[in-house]
Structure 1
Amino acid sequence: MERARPGAGERIAGALESAWRPVALLVACFAAWWAITAFKLVEAYLVPSPWTTLKLMGDKWGYIWHHTWVTTYETLIGFALAVVIGVAAAVIMVYSSTVERTLYPILLFAQVIPKIAIAPLFVVWLGFGIGPKIVVAVLIAFFPVVISMVAGLKAVDPEMLQLSSTMGAGAFATFTKIRLPASLPHLFSGLKVAVTLAVTGAVVGEFVGANEGLGYVILQANGNIDTPMLFAGLLVMSAIGVVLFVAVEIAEKLLLPWHASRRGEAVTTTY
């Protein structure tokens, strides 16, 4: 049996095969949006046309870009902190059943509380700066990171752990050589959820108290009944989430080429 990497043509064909469906759906959504506005099924002040929205984005690109960068910056910091804190908490919980039994109820309690309800408290405590937005992003993105990492660390084959112990491997070597690599597929599943939630968290924090960011733009547009700017803010916010999701997925492909879900993409088998 011989394994050979697919050629450039095969990789391009595979990429097109996986991309055409979401692209087709996106085109269909824009076509439906255009049809609704072109045939005046909804008043223009309620739903602007795609052309009006895109023209506004072009005319006010500098304004939108500034607020987009602010939200992206808050999202990335919140996501990074959620990953660091979440992974550390998961490792501690897996290695200490006492900590796990203590933290799990608290995590569940914190998760079910609507973040929009407690975001004003962070504004009172931390002011109108970047702090409250990052805290809300961390709180929203933290939970999927912890849960996925705990699941990954516990999914290791017990026989592998027994073998490493029999061969004299210490706790640190077992973690770095066996537990951590085995947990990465689970962790990346959680990261793809967490990075999109971090965008939502940053925008929620901006809704409560901010003078910049996409949440601020959307809130101002809503108050002024400026639906083209409102739709522009929503489109850009969605684009940030999609780009960050794809970035995490690319990182997963680069770091986990050995995982079963990637083998079909990475190699072809010939006899």
Structure 2
Amino acid sequence: MMRRPDPKIVRWGILIALLVAWELVPRMGLLPELFLPRLSKTLTVLWIDLDKYWAALLVTLYEVVLAMVIACGLGIVAGATIGGIAVLRDLLLPVFSSLYAVPIVILYPIFTAWFGIGSQSKVMFAGIYGFFPVMLSTAAGIRTIDPQFLLAARSMGATVTQQITKVIIPASLPTVFGGLRLGGALAIIGVIVAEMLTASAGIGYLVTLNRTILDSPRVFAGILCILVLSVAYDIIARRLERRMVVWQSAGRRQQQASPRPIAQGAPAPAAA
């Protein structure tokens, strides 16, 4: 039987193949460099303008952090409230589910009218953009908690605070972290899109500025910065999830280490 390849090796292989294709496809003339500049040329431009891209990345990172505070903070609080109270769940959850289907980008002119074209409109827009998946995931995670857990906690004399901190929050963390990863990614997208529409600073602004003058290497240098920012956030979120949801991995290891039960009627192993 063929052995399954290591997922890490497969991921690194795909990444290396994409990078090699990025260099070879324009070099061989399969695509004009106006559409896809060589990877080496993109990295050279990024190194030459490193100070400019670093300053723009700091602006974008500042707006992304504030947007994530809004998306994740308000999303978790609202999701816990709506998911934990039956009346609010029945009244508001269908409304928020329907609003999540609306493309929020069409509302960006409203944010600029309310908050101006500065960082405030971008932060609020990206925060609302990432709010819905966090809120819905938190509400769904609380709804999937086994009632027997709460019953067992109450039977052992746990207070309401202890039930929330020891049962509800740990049991809903896997679903909440799934929403946090998606909500954080949408917050990054919201900031970049807002910077591309109306901004005078940030990575999105550099991408739009270089696109208007057809400077493809600098456009792809900005795209590369955005990709690095998104991948870094996903890695941090996954590592934080592994640290916070330790009981899941511990349960899997215990289940794998436990011996299989002997089938009924099967002979017991002979003593040595």
TM-score, structure 1 length as denominator? 0.87
Once the two structures are TM-superposed, the CA of residue 263 in structure 1 deviates from its matched residue by 4.3
Name the residue aligned to 1:163.
152
Deviations 1:1-52 (A, max 9, x none): xxxxxxxxxxxxxxxx553222211111111122211111121222111111
**What's the counterpart of residue 12 of structure 1?**
none
Per the alignment, residue 95 of structure 2 pairs with: 106
Q: State yes or no: 1:234 paired with 2:215.
A: no
Question: Is 1:182 aligned to residue 171 of structure 2?
Answer: yes
Aligned to 2:63: 74
Equivalent runs, 1:249-260 vs 2, <5 Å: 249-260=238-249
Mapped partners of 2:182, 2:194: distance in 1: 19
Identify the residue that residue 49 of structure 1 maps to in structure 2.
38
Give, in whole Å, the separation in 2 of the partners of 1:201 and 1:143. Answer: 13
Which of 159, 162, 185 does residue 173 from structure 1 map onto? 162
Q: Quick one: structure 1 residues 56 and 82, their matched pair in 2 at CA, closer, same or farther if it must change by over 3 Å?
A: same
| TM-aligned CA distance change 1:261 to 1:44, over 3 Å | farther
Q: Any residues of structure 2 matched to 1:115-126 within 5 Å, and which?
A: 115-126=104-115
Whole-angstrom CA distance in 1 between matches of 2:42 and 2:251: 39
Q: TM-score, normalised by structure 2?
A: 0.86
Q: How does 1:210-249 map to 2 (within 5 A)?
A: 210-249=199-238
Alignment length (residue pairs)? 255
Per chain length, whose mean CA-contact separation is higher, i.e. which structure has more relative contact order (CA < 8 Å, sep 6+)?
Answer: 1
2:80 maps to which of 83, 88, 91: 91
Query: Compared with structure 1, are the counterparts of its residues 27 and 104 closer, same or farther at alpha carbon in structure 2 (3 Å cutoff)?
Result: same
Aligned-partner Cα distance in 1 for 2:71–2:139: 14
Residues 127-168 of structure 1 show CA distances to partners (whole Å, capped at 9, x for unaligned) of 121111111211221122112211221222211222223334
Amino acid in structure 2 at the alignment position of 1:244: Y
Cα distance, 1:269 vs. partner? 4.4
- Compare CA radii of gyration and give the structure with the larger one: 2
For 1:100 and 1:208, locate their aligned partners in 2 and report how far apart those are by CA, in whole Å.
Answer: 36
Identity %: 27
Tell me, yes or no, if structure 1 residue 194 matches structure 2 residue 183.
yes
Listed as ranges, the gaps of 5+ residues in structure 1 are 1-16
Cα RMSD of the aligned pairs, angstroms, is 2.2
Q: Aligned partner of 2:187: which letter?
A: A
- Contact 1:38–1:49 under 8 Å retained in 2: yes
Unaligned runs of 5+ in 2: 1-5, 260-272
